[in-house]
Structure 1
């Protein structure tokens, strides 16, 4: 449920834009508020669960997620929807941060390996189901359904979790790192807010400069604080290990290059090509399906290889696949994306399988749990930053195309409207006799913006592949383990009754 909600909203963006008169900035925040809250609060939720009990935090997070989903489905304005998405992310972080520890406490031996395999399979299915499910729900019942569908799932989850999950917590709880939690959250929020604001106000705007500067300052303070406290939220000294640093770069760019552009792709499919939400969902499904198939294969076949091989190979395939999609132009149809989506999906599947396990192998044994959580944090942070960065790239590319095509009016503002899926509204305001030429110009501008997005994402993936190859140099520093890893196993202490599943 919580992983589907990362991508399910992409297909519904054009409907949301028309229904709530949402700007491109609002659409970016509708995606990013959720991903940002997940990224900023995963480590915080994990620390809170160690202190208060993982089952308790899991139940609380599920309840918050359900309530926020209801608020999103009933949101009367784009601002209310953004707020609901942020609260959804808070609940999702609490759920995400506790699942592996709860599985570890509930299962033993061979059953534990099966449980983690099932957990991985469900994660893969969630990625595959998101676009298609979002297309079906938004086309048949409207965009509100992509949020309201969470309510029955959450109800069943709460009922079962309350009955069968044991309570667990760390044997020797650490003090909660409040300073680190606040600094990391503020740093991530300011950086994303500054990047998103640049689409409206430009890079030299005092607001944008102030937000980016504040984010950079808080990030620097976070590094200083975490290197000095006894029990840090995230031990930044782990990044001094080249293999671990390379794996974190891979986690960040994986999400940015593979998935962060899907919202803009979906808007192009529906607003420019005139596809239905369901058809647009089916177009991007090959990405998730190829990723799922390769992840299933890679988990069994690549465990004997040094992590640098599947990690670097996966990033190379992602880069090649995304760069292939730069062929999009004003005359293109959806098939121009197909080969690139499949290839980048193959790369993502190859990369996802070893990422968490390799990160824990690259860290000291006592930091294995932190390393596993760091991968999820960097992945969600990559998604949040990717949506913001690629949005700015899209506006720049579309605006330049409009200007060179002789657009009469504010090309920058028009590019922002295009990014928000407002092409039909723009066309409706043009006199009938001029719609053909204006339509061609708009289609060219959107294709140009999208091509710039793919170029940026693809080059970042190739750069990350090079960094991973040189940083993950020693095979023994990060190897894909033969058996499923269970982070924090040593620190899990059942409390009260246990469950025999």
Structure 2
């Protein structure tokens, strides 16, 4: 069995790229496809807005906590074997999600989905970069990352259509044929094992990581329920960060760490990870809350809310190929520096558009963000993978994807926490004409519960000061959430880019066109 992709035929390379790309698109799509369906899920399963939010973040937090472990497992048992195991786990848990009869069951199955995803994602990334021809890694990763980004931003479009036409359960059932296709393709292609012969797995490290990330980020998310400065919020964040610090310290002392923190000594790798993390911070929180904004403020149904994200989807589809070619020719800096400025600025622009209640401005902001995304994500991911040896690419991929998932979960949590601080309060509602409407219903509607907002709208005239104030409060909260997320991502991305060394000259163009 070959240890890399040197002896693969052009046909094998194409099949490998197709199967790996399809699997990653499925993982990314499941990050955002649920967003527009959350109100329907809440109604059908009888769960409130606080529980519904965990349908999204349980998936992200489990991935962030376990993906480094998934990368290490791929190193131990071989990347293709880890990939197949992950696909099967993801498919079976998707079936469980669709058949869920309670919020607890659905959230549990979402965690199992994440377990499948953490086995798939690091393995697939390592397989793609290791089987591409020298000098063509950027093009291969351009397809791999680009199509996955398309899955991420197209999730609301697909989720809205499926929820409206055949029901929310099918947003999970659709994963089954994709998983079957990926398994068939990888069985035909027979990628190399790409296995690390050195065994070993540090269980205390696994425990510290599994505790630290969900505790810190989950506490930030729950601040909307507990209060931003409540002792539970502050203590959860503190203990989570403390556990994470102990985890990092332990990794620096191990000969076979779960996460090789020494990789961050390479300033370029550190910058690549920072770019990926903060791009996900800005992107995922924005995409999830755009669906809430269009349904609450503009009265869109799930299908229309999904279609409203097309201005974000189309630029990604059109430009992703050019980002891969651009990396092969120019490296990271010429692409990522302007793209990060544009991306962070566009999220701030979306916040201003939400504050003004302007749908045309929202569309403009989405187009700008969609243009910038491919020129950050693809170059940063490819560059990070190329900076490590072949035998460590599973660990490196797991580390990069951990940073991305932590960024995504933080983006949702921070955007939601900021939005909650600006929502209209019950005290502000006391002076409005809300009639005999139940105050608990008003409170739930003001917090962004779309099912409650629908009931409130059914009992009040469209121009009721109470209803108008509630909708305006939701828009204002989300708008400020976007502004804060955009500013944070902009500052951090620019700082990371300042550390990126100048790109090495592009490798010579290979003669083989495959």
Q: Using a 3 Å threshold, how does the CA distance of structure 1 residues 426 and 411 change in structure 2: closer, same or farther?
A: closer
Residue equivalent to 1:427: 457
Residue equivalent to 2:279: 254
Residue equivalent to 1:288: 313
2:442 and 2:456 in contact (8 A); partners too: no
Partner Cα separation in structure 2 for residue 444 and residue 171 of structure 1: 55
The TM-score, its normalising length taken from structure 1, stands at 0.86
Specify the SS of the correspondent of 2:414. Answer: helix
Residue equivalent to 1:452: 480
Residue equivalent to 2:21: none
1:176 is matched with which residue: 174, 186, 201?
A: 201
In the alignment, structure 2 segments of 5+ residues that lack a partner are: 1-25
Q: Using a 3 Å threshold, how does the CA distance of structure 1 residues 60 and 270 change in structure 2: closer, same or farther?
A: same
Per the TM alignment, residue 140 of structure 1 is displaced from its structure 2 partner at its CA by 0.5
Per the TM alignment, residue 455 of structure 1 is displaced from its structure 2 partner at its CA by 0.6
Deviations 1:247-288 (A, max 9, x none): 222111101112212222212212332212222111112212
Partner Cα separation in structure 1 for residue 398 and residue 131 of structure 2: 19
Partner Cα separation in structure 2 for residue 91 and residue 321 of structure 1: 33
Per the TM alignment, residue 382 of structure 1 is displaced from its structure 2 partner at its CA by 0.6
Is 1:349 aligned to 2:374, yes or no? yes
2:164 is matched with which residue: 139, 150, 166?
A: 139
Per the TM alignment, residue 343 of structure 1 is displaced from its structure 2 partner at its CA by 0.8
Deviations 1:14-57 (A, max 9, x none): 22233234333223211111122222222211211222233332
Is 1:461 aligned to 2:489, yes or no? yes
Partner Cα separation in structure 2 for residue 274 and residue 9 of structure 1: 18
Per the TM alignment, residue 371 of structure 1 is displaced from its structure 2 partner at its CA by 3.4
Q: Using a 3 Å threshold, how does the CA distance of structure 1 residues 366 and 56 change in structure 2: closer, same or farther?
A: closer
Partner Cα separation in structure 2 for residue 362 and residue 168 of structure 1: 20
Q: Using a 3 Å threshold, how does the CA distance of structure 1 residues 369 and 67 change in structure 2: closer, same or farther?
A: closer
CA RMSD of aligned residues (A): 3.1
Residue equivalent to 2:111: 86
1:210 is matched with which residue: 235, 253, 261?
A: 235
Q: Using a 3 Å threshold, how does the CA distance of structure 1 residues 436 and 416 change in structure 2: closer, same or farther?
A: closer
Specify the SS of the correspondent of 1:268. Answer: helix
Residue equivalent to 2:448: 418
1:61 and 1:90 in contact (8 A); partners too: yes
1:175 and 1:231 in contact (8 A); partners too: yes
Per the TM alignment, residue 321 of structure 1 is displaced from its structure 2 partner at its CA by 1.0
Residue equivalent to 2:69: 44
2:278 and 2:493 in contact (8 A); partners too: no
Partner Cα separation in structure 1 for residue 136 and residue 461 of structure 2: 69
Specify the SS of the correspondent of 2:27. Answer: coil
Residue equivalent to 1:200: 225
- More displaced, 206-215 or 146-155? 206-215
In the alignment, structure 1 segments of 5+ residues that lack a partner are: 485-500
Per the TM alignment, residue 112 of structure 1 is displaced from its structure 2 partner at its CA by 8.1
Specify the SS of the correspondent of 1:418. Answer: coil
Per the TM alignment, residue 458 of structure 1 is displaced from its structure 2 partner at its CA by 1.3
Count, aligned residues: 480
Residue equivalent to 1:475: 502
